[in-house]
Structure 1
Amino acid sequence: MSNKTEKLVKMANDISNFFNAESNKTLAAEGVKKHIMRAWEPRMRKEIIEYSQKDGTGLSTLATEAIKLLAID
């Protein structure tokens, strides 16, 4: 994993940690997805989607679910 990818994984996990307080994990994943859509540039989103689909090591469960939703949009 490149340093850039490591940073994206950390960022996705940090966002997920914030939304993890939501008891409804579907809403939490949607919140993470929306945050990434608003705050990350397209290249960053593309890279984290590709990483999640190929390997995904290090991504939290919530981050992984949110990225799956991101890949659909």
Structure 2
Amino acid sequence: MSGLEQLVRMANDIGAYFRAEPDHAAAVAGIATHIRRFWEPRMRRRIHAHAAAGGAGLDALVREAIADLAREDPAARA
């Protein structure tokens, strides 16, 4: 499994955890917060770049969270 495939799997696992949240906006925010807090900038840069290139393999909820995170995450602009 490549590093990118592992990041996609990890992001989708986080998404699966937050999918149980009945409030869609809270689920998206929870995913974004988790990635912001626990992923190092290099990992966030890679997942932002992957999402910007179409986000193959990323769950829709995760893609939405990454898009929200990209608006405030300095790693997305690096």
Question: TM-score, structure 2 length as denominator?
Answer: 0.88
Q: Which runs of 5+ in 2 are unaligned?
A: 73-78
SS at 2:56 equivalent: coil
SS at 1:49 equivalent: helix
- Give distance in 2, aligned partners of 1:69 and 1:59: 15
Shift of the alpha carbon at 1:7?
0.5
- Give distance in 2, aligned partners of 1:39 and 1:56: 20
SS at 1:48 equivalent: helix
Q: What is the letter of the counterpart of residue 59 of structure 1?
A: L
| Structure 1 vs Structure 2 CA RMSD | 1.1
**Structure 1 ranges of 4+ moved more than 4 A:** none
Q: Which runs of 5+ in 1 are unaligned?
A: none
Question: TM-score, structure 1 length as denominator?
Answer: 0.94
> Percent sequence identity over matched residues?
44
